[in-house]
Amino acid sequence: LARKLRFDILNKPICERCVTCGYHELTFLDISSLVSGFAVGITWLWYGFYKVGAEVQALYWITQDIMGISICIAALRIIQLNKVQVATVLLAIVFIYDIFFVLITPLAFGGESVMMAVAMTGGAPPNPDYCEKYPTEDECRGGDPLPTYLSLPRIDDYRGGMSALGLGDIVLPGLLISFAIRLDVSKRFAEFMRIYMRSGSVGCNQKQSKGVGKELLSGYFIWLILAYSVGLLIAYIVFSYTKIKEPAARLYLVPFCLGMMFMLGWKREETAILWSGPKVLKTLQHVMSLRETIRIVSID
């Protein structure tokens, strides 16, 4: 964010003369990110170990959510898919994995979900509703959660308690959504370059703009966000009415997101292109890599 806002002080190298040590690219932004990361992590650990019923305290779940969101952003930044084929195989495997560990393993282990036992470091309390209301009771002291999900207080629930969304429910469908927004940006960049190469400039009269609304609807990103939201809403409704311990939102997110992608591709006659990998996306990635290489050479 600081780099986008061009904060020169934060982007300034700490030691410009430390070329031989390899620290000439270390900036104040890197140091501030390191310090803030350790501060959030240590705060979460201290609160979790020394506070009773910490999971319902605002400072605890806010710091946990900050760490979770940061992990999701880093994962989506590092892992980038270039074709729907890879996303389909990955999400299909995850879908089967969830069916097995959510629907089958409780039958084999006396009604206990393996996924819930792992997430809660030994299993959930015997009576979750009672323990959410009286977290200081001895029988409710076990099952401390790991920072593997986002946690938010329930709204309009007289019993209180927290709602959880696993990081896997964000990152795995997010890989497909990330692919969609990169594809939309690549198409806009290609259109811009075609206009520029044809006319030599892009003026107000020459720029062929569809309008913000039509431009968003003509892409894939906004529709996948809508599909993700609908799938998450249905998962929440099913969880609320069935009272199952492990809602497994991916059982609903995967079909909705993949279904929306293939439906749009079929309607726009781009299914084969999406499956094998759009060339426009690969071209933009090549351009961006050349730009980064030129930037590094100019710095050196």
Find the catalytic residue in 129, 144, 156, 169.
Answer: 169
Whether 156 is catalytic is: no
127: DSSP letter:
S
> Whose CA is closest to 102, among 227, 242, 261, 237?
242
Check: CB of residue 22 under 8 Å from CB of residue 14: no
What DSSP line would sit under 165-230, residue for residue?
Answer: EETHHHHHHHHHHHHHHHHHHHHHHHHHHHHHHHHSS--TTT-----HHHHHHTSSHHHHHHHHHH
Whether 98 is catalytic is: yes
Check: CB of residue 44 under 8 Å from CB of residue 67: yes
> Whose CA is closest to 249, among 119, 63, 60?
119
Residue where the block lists tokens 């560990």: 101
Find the catalytic residue in 98, 144, 156, 300.
Answer: 98
Name the packing angle between helices 58-78 and 168-199 (round to 10°).
50
Cβ density class 124-136: b for 16+ within 10 Å, e for less: bbeebeebbeebe
Amino acid 17 reads R
Question: Could you list the active site residues?
Answer: 98, 169
